[in-house]
Amino acid sequence: MTTANNKEYRSWIEVPANSDFPIQNIPFGIASPQGKSPRPVTRIGDKVIDLSVLADFGFFDDLEIDDLSVFYNSNLNGFIELGNKTTSKVRNRLSEIFRKENTQVQNLNSQEFQDTLLYNIDEVKMEMPVFVGDYTDFYSSIEHATNVGKMFRGNDNALMPNWKHIPVGYHGRSSSIVVSGTDIHRPKGQTLPAGAVKPLFGPSERMDYELEMAFITSKNTKLGETVTIENARDAIFGLVLFNDLSARDIQKWEYVPLGPFLGKNFGSVISPWIVTLDALEPFFVEGPEQFPEVLPYLKQSGKNNIDIKLQVSLQAENSKEDVICNSNFKYMYWSNYQQLAHQTVNGCNINVGDMYGSGTISGPTPDSFGSLLELSWNGTKPVKLSDGNTRTFLNDNDTIIMRGWAENEDYRIGFGECVTKLLPAKNDDRN
């Protein structure tokens, strides 16, 4: 276990009870303090810590980092490209600096130093943590795939013949991946309503969220190289929450034969804090048994899934939020390592900052289904809200709030929130 994960550690920064961000977490993000440019940060409790200030004062000088400019960049790509061994050293150093017994920072005489180092979370604007060059979305929850298959193909043909043999995925649009707090307009496109013989154009009437997580790669490979199951962990920096919004009616009309297009590329939302695999190390668990046996390049053993509790709330306009889903990342049939091994087995090269969505994460019970498509069973079972209203799909001005955390008897490692509001479609003269 990495040094920073020691359950005995406490910080001299106050950490509220049940915080997602104890000193054992030390996630990484990009923040803009008021009136200042975006810069790399970490977080303990409700305090955001400016890594560029620590670099200014030489706290990272002995870590053998050739290019200290990575602590001043407006995204984390350069920092992540240092490699997991080096970024782990930085995380351990941050743990040392902010431990209760370490008064090195507290005793620095400059009040200006203290004022520029620490910010309250409400004093900064969280930005996109990485520049996402490429994005792959997988379809790796057997419960979700089975539910959707039952709705549209019946119980006997719920899973496609390839599903238990390969981590099914598609290459998606990276430019429309945005950070939590970004509102998304209801998209427009073609749909074919029930009974219609010609498609119509207009706003989607079946807007949905998808509860996902995404991992971010930490190395570059050359065209023709592969990332094997055995070295996949070294190629993954960390995870974020991921709301992969979907226009179900647009997607249904367009997806044959090449898959999703306009129904998926109008906006996907991530949480601003990247939680490292190091921080999640105590929460790795064995995944579901895979049958039939997978091909050798996908074979794995040991603990490869992560026990992360996931929750989705829907907040209607002028109303309180209602928890509508409680799921868990541990349910995934295909692990992150299998996804990356499959993505690259044909020689596909990867780059630092690439993002890989898990696919909708559903569990075995109805309250753990990770989309409104499933919760309302394709609109046939409306979801009841506390204000007396119901939802089959999202209304304009509904806000979706996703949360995720791993916990044991010692501490909780969380991701904060992934929040987005669905705005009405933009008006224009297209028809």
pLDDT in tens, 383-429: 999 999 999 999 999 999 999 999 999 999 999 999 999 999 998 65
Q: Quickly list H helices, 49-101.
A: 51-56, 77-80, 84-97
pLDDT confidence of residue 186: 98
Distance of alpha carbon 232 from alpha carbon 340, whole angstroms: 7
pLDDT at 110 exceeding the cut of 90: no
pLDDT confidence of residue 109: 59
Average pLDDT of the residues of the chain: 96
Asked if 27 and 275 count as a contact pair (C-beta separation under 8 A), the reply is yes
**Which stretch of DSSP H or E encloses residue 373?**
helix 372-375
pLDDT confidence of residue 32: 98
Backbone angles phi, psi at 123, to 5 degrees: -100, 0
**Which stretch of DSSP H or E encloses residue 249?**
helix 248-254
| Paired tokens of 328 | 């868990």
Mean pLDDT, residues 89-103 taken together: 94
Asked if 159 and 143 count as a contact pair (C-beta separation under 8 A), the reply is no
Mean pLDDT, residues 10-31 taken together: 97
pLDDT at 111 exceeding the cut of 80: no
**Terminal C-alpha separation, the chain:** 58
What are 169's strand-pairing partners? Answer: 138
CA distance readout (Å), 420 to 19, 68, 209, 401: 22, 34, 10, 7
Give tens-digit pLDDT for 283-323. Answer: 999 999 999 999 999 999 999 999 999 999 999 999 999 99
What are 39's strand-pairing partners? Answer: 31
Q: Which residues contact residue 5 at a Cβ distance below 8 angstroms, ignoring those fewer than 6 apart?
A: 24, 278, 279, 281, 282
Distance of alpha carbon 360 from alpha carbon 382, whole angstroms: 20
Which range among 104-108, 253-257, 299-303, 365-369 shows the weakest confidence by mean pLDDT? 104-108
| Paired tokens of 169 | 């995925």
pLDDT confidence of residue 97: 94
**Given the residues 144, 165, 171, 185, the one annotated as active site:** 144
What stretches of 68-182 adopt beta strand conformation (E)?
Answer: 118-120, 124-127, 135-138, 169-172, 177-179
Distance of alpha carbon 60 from alpha carbon 202, whole angstroms: 54
Which range among 79-83, 162-166, 256-260, 306-310 shows the weakest confidence by mean pLDDT? 256-260
Distance of alpha carbon 364 from alpha carbon 202, whole angstroms: 35
3-state helix, strand, coil in the chain (%, to 5): 25, 25, 50
The percent of residues in the chain predicted with pLDDT above 90, rounded, is 94
What are 178's strand-pairing partners? Answer: 269
Give tens-digit pLDDT for 37-47. Answer: 999 999 999 99
Place of tokens 């997602």: 20
Q: If 0-12 CB within 10 Å is exposed, 13-18 middle and 19+ buried, where does residue 156 land?
A: exposed
Backbone angles phi, psi at 374, to 5 degrees: -80, -45
Buried b (16+ CB within 10 A) or exposed e, 304-337: bbbbbbbbbbbbbeeeeebebbebbbbbbbbbbb
144 is known as an active-site residue: yes
List the Cα angle 133/33/130 in 5-degree steps.
Answer: 10
Distance of alpha carbon 340 from alpha carbon 324, whole angstroms: 31
Mean pLDDT, residues 83-111 taken together: 88
Distance of alpha carbon 165 from alpha carbon 232, whole angstroms: 19
Side chain identity at residue 176, one-letter code: S
Coil/strand/helix, residue 291: coil
pLDDT confidence of residue 104: 76
The percent of residues in the chain predicted with pLDDT above 70, rounded, is 98
